[in-house]
Structure 1
Amino acid sequence: MENAGAALIREVASKTNDSAGDGTTTACVLAREIIKLGILSVTSGANPVSLKKGIDKTVQGLIEELERKARPVKGSGDIKAVASISAGNDELIGAMIADAIDKVGPDGVLSIESSSSFETTVDVEEGMEIDRGYISPQFVTNLEKSIVEFENARVLITDQKITSIKEIIPLLEQTTQLRCPLFIVAEDITGEALATLVVNKLRGIINVAAIKAPSFGERRKAVLQDIAIVTGAEYLAKDLGLLVENATVDQLGTARKITIHQTTTTLIADAASKDEIQARVAQLKKELSETDSIYDSEKLAERIAKLSGGVAVIKVGATTETELEDRQLRIEDAIKETIEDHDERLGADIIQKALQAPASLIANNAGVEGEVVIEKIKESEWEMGYNAMTDKYENLIESGVIDPAKVTRCALQNAASVSGMVLTTQAIVVEKPKPKPKVAEPAEGQLSV
């Protein structure tokens, strides 16, 4: 029973983290409070279905109000404030992320890696982001983060569908001898080819991962050519007779680092690709100036931005492994940020009370009476609140205590979703653990086996 409840709270945290990258603690605190108050109401005779309706309506209204109150992030000062809060009030991290975004633009790509020194720095390197994730989760190398991470990988780029393992055995053998990972971008990999790659990856025989080629039709060919230029690979186009089964290792490209998520892939290019990338950008800019199509203009501008923006690499340094891991996690959080009837009204009241829990908990943790803080906040104007760092009631936006609207929205939505399920569930099926048989104590002088 307890494990079922814990699993639901874990789901709240996981969904919030996946959506917004932060706000997991807020989501858990809200879920606990909504469930606690909801169960009290149901026990007192409230209709759980009407209660859930009231919760859902109130949350929807709150989200609409939140969107009206939210303001766009303007300038590096706002970016620094948001990132600092997400990183646990670390102003150095906030300043670093603001600097990184300033270098690559608001739509730029940010990447994190360990530094070889104690210093944490920001470097802009050639690279791009692809709007495709791994074909199979079995390719994942970092199970904790559910991502694929490759360094100094060879890259195969093709518009062909790979269905037979025979087509790529020569390349697999050559890259295995080179002791480097193989990253494949293809129209698709299915059947025997995919199954064999996965099995050999799981056995540790080869280090490989694949994604489907982005976009469609002629535009796909153009994007694949862009990726080929970034990695220095030869684009193996079927209509040119460049078949995968005839490919050699010399036709593969290289990437200093590749990070593949469920839906996106980040490539950091080898330094040797810089001149080719700049030439490609110049060519695309020329095409952009000559086209009359609005749609083509948008797509060309998008490709230019992906190629020319580069990747801001935040190299995290620390004196110990524990400090390094903590700092990387905080930087990751910061990056992901930048009723009608009585029972329905009761559901609204539950949300109103639950929303006080995070602020009350923060105040209590700071050694201040939470209820007193809540009352003062309720009497204050919008944007005024309690700053636990300074122990003052002040304009939180002016003080730089800013949370992304997405984080607050996701925390509230996910907490309400799981809480509503708990309140309308009448029974759960659990496996009762069987008592373990007692093991007889070994006689004196005998070994315990």
Structure 2
Amino acid sequence: MGSHSTERDGSGDERLSTLLHNMRAVQAVAASVEGTIGPKGLDTMLVDEQGGVIITNDGVTILEEMEVKHPAARLMIGLARSQQREVGDGTTTATLLAAALVTEGVAQVQKGVPVAKVIAGIEQGIGEAVARLKEAALPIHTFDDERLFHIAYIAGREQEDIARLVIEGAKLLGREKMLEPDFSFSDLITARESAENEVLDGVIINQRPLSREMPKHMENVRLLVLNDALAPEEMDDEALGTEIGFQRYLQLKEEYRRNLEKLRMLEVGAVILDRSCDSMAEEFCLDHGILVLHRVFQSERVRAARYTGARSLKRSALNKDIKELSRSLGFAERLEFDESLGQVRIMGGRGVPTATMIIGASTGEVVGERERIAKDAAAAVQAALRGGYLPGGGSIELFLSRHLEVWRQSVKGMEGFGVEAVAAALRTPLIQMMRNAGFNPLEKIEQVKAAQAEAGVSSTGLNFDTGQCADMLTSGVVDPALVKLHALQTAGEVSRAILRIHTVIRRKSPTTLSDE
């Protein structure tokens, strides 16, 4: 009996050792971004081996750029990527919530609560919190709603010029476009050194014309978009070495020459290519005033095709007859090449309306950060239009924490300890914002809890300038509901996955397996 007890205690110690090891790993990840959260959050400097520097406040950038080897920590990086991919903002909040859930879950296990009960309780607690969040979400009906500007302003790190530009871009596209499931508003953001902030009713190709002699300003342009090179069909050297192969080569070259003539007959003014353009085509296009943009990124080709109404083709499609080929061309009222920025602007397309938001930056060093900030603001605006908004500043999370402390009494069995873990974790974002603002969290959290209980609303939070309680909705401190919902759900999934890990075993390398 004594021997069995010792063995059981030993396995329990081993299990706790794994939990504690994983907990420390996720805490280290959370520590790398916790200083950036809230209005008083600071920036992080990322340095690589070559001395390259990124200074950013963006949680997902920090997490993706930092060196991480621990498997549990990598789950946290995956969480940040999921949050960024789905809603484009809130990665720091999601990371802090996940780390807090793991920490609070481990604390309950150390008290003797079975891991399975803690995990089940966490699942119930998050389910209840998500349901309350959905009920509390308030809709945004118009682009002129001041809440929408506040959302852009907060997500845009309080940079007013970016917030206003993003709202202007959203207005230009319209509500219907912003609500399309597969449309990503943040993809329309581009930042350029020395550029002016601008919303362009059109698209941009970040590429220079193939030749300096090609036209730089064009009107009423027909466009051809090729996901290919503008060159004859390729033949391998072995085939060229035969008489039949050489004759085939001459035939393909003649077909190619006739296909180039089709561009002139169709009055094509611009060609956008995935790959290169051979010398024959370059000379032909120069002679006939055709603008060629080669090696254009796929995302830019797709946007240009949609905007102008063009169908993206392979070069073999040039063998089609003139009438059929004509139906694949796009149209733009105007094309302009900006020499200083090295980009071609396409305006007045006849396809799907779109816009491009150009963010100016004073130096090359801040271009990337300005673009990240603007993309966050754009993603937050789109999320708010889709799912409404909630009070920010950590107030709604604290309200949910207080709600779960009461609701926990209705949970039967040891799962209630898991609900307690969720209640404690939900206080983390506000506590960290208080720390970053220089306040004592123990004092201030009780102050806000008392004010919430007295007012009976979820929007009572802390003014991080004065240290006094304030209504977040009245103060304009609001966040997109979808950002908070996804952050909580994803944090719950990741924390439960980490708590389920009983032990970590190093796998054999593939070479060892093959040797055996």
TM norm structure 1: 0.61
User: Counterpart in 1 of 2:111?
Assistant: 44
- Alpha-carbon distance, 1:74 to partner: 3.8
1:412 corresponding residue in structure 2:
488
Whether 1:316 aligns to 2:359 is yes
Please tell me whether the aligned partners of residues 305 and 311 of structure 2 are also in contact (alpha carbons under 8 angstroms).
yes
Residues 392, 432 of structure 1: CA spacing in aligned structure 2 closer, same or farther, 3 A cutoff?
farther
* Structure of greater relative contact order (alpha carbons < 8 Å, 6+ residues apart): 1
Q: 1:104 is matched with which residue?
A: 173
Change (3 A) 1:228 1:361: closer
- Amino acid of the structure 2 residue aligned with 1:412: L
User: Is 1:122 aligned with 2:199?
Assistant: yes
Q: Which residue of 1 aligns with 2:37?
A: none
For residue 382 of structure 1, give the secondary structure of its aligned residue in structure 2: coil
The answer to whether structure 1 residue 345 and structure 2 residue 388 are counterparts is no
Task: Identify unmatched segments of 5+ residues in structure 1.
Answer: 128-147, 158-163, 184-204, 214-225, 237-242, 258-267, 278-306, 434-449
User: Whole-Å Cα distance in 2 between the matches of residues 59 and 344 of structure 1?
Assistant: 12
Query: In the TM superposition, what is the alpha-carbon distance from 1:206 to its structure 2 partner?
Result: 6.6
The equivalent residue for 1:59 is: 126
Moved more, 42-51 or 247-256: 247-256
Superposed, 1:335-374 pairs within 5 Å as 335-338=378-381, 340-374=411-445
Tell me the distance in 2 between the aligned counterparts of 1:92 and 1:422: 41
| Letter matched to residue 164 of structure 2 | A
Shift in alpha-carbon separation, 1:318–1:229, aligned structure 2, 3 A? closer
Structure 1 match to 2:395: none
Deviation of 1:342 after TM superposition, in Å, equals: 3.4
Equivalent residue letter for 2:360: G
Specify the alignment match of 2:160 in structure 1.
Answer: 91
- Report what 1:384 is aligned to: 460
Tell me the residue number matched to 2:317.
244
1:288-307 deviations in whole A, cap 9, x for unaligned? xxxxxxxxxxxxxxxxxxx3
- Paired residue type of 1:112: I
SS in 2 for 1:368: coil
Q: 1:406 to 1:67 in 2, by over 3 A?
A: same
Percent pairwise identity? 24
Matching of residues 223-238 of structure 1 within 5 Å = 230-231=307-308, 233=310
| Aligned counterpart, 1:262 | none
Amino acid corresponding to residue 273 of structure 2 in structure 1: P
Compare CA radii of gyration and give the structure with the larger one: 2
How far is 1:358 from its partner?
0.6
- The answer to whether the aligner puts 1:14 opposite 2:81 as a matched pair is yes
- State the shift of 1:151 in Å: 8.3
How many residue pairs get aligned? The number is 324
Deviation per CA, 1:270-318, whole angstroms, max 9, x where unpaired? 33x54x55xxxxxxxxxxxxxxxxxxxxxxxxxxxxx3xx323211111
Secondary structure of 2:176's aligned partner: coil
Partner of 1:440: none
1:342 maps to amino acid = G
Question: What whole-Å deviation, never above 9, does each CA across 1:137-188 have from its counterpart, x for those lacking one?
Answer: xxxxxxxxxxx9888895259xxxxxx9999x969x989xx995339xxxxx
CA contact (8 A) 1:151 1:181 kept: no
Describe how 1:2-401 pairs up with structure 2 within 5 A.
2=25, 3-75=70-142, 76=144, 77-108=146-177, 110=185, 111-115=188-192, 117-125=194-202, 154-156=224-226, 180-182=272-274, 209=298, 230-231=307-308, 233=310, 244=317, 246-247=319-320, 252-253=329-330, 270-271=346-347, 273-274=348-349, 276=350, 307=352, 310-338=353-381, 340-379=411-450, 380=452, 381-401=457-477
After superposition, what is the alpha-carbon deviation per residue over 1:63-92, rounded to whole angstroms, capped at 9, x for unaligned?
A: 111011110124421211111111223333
C-alpha root-mean-square deviation of aligned residues, in Å? 4.3
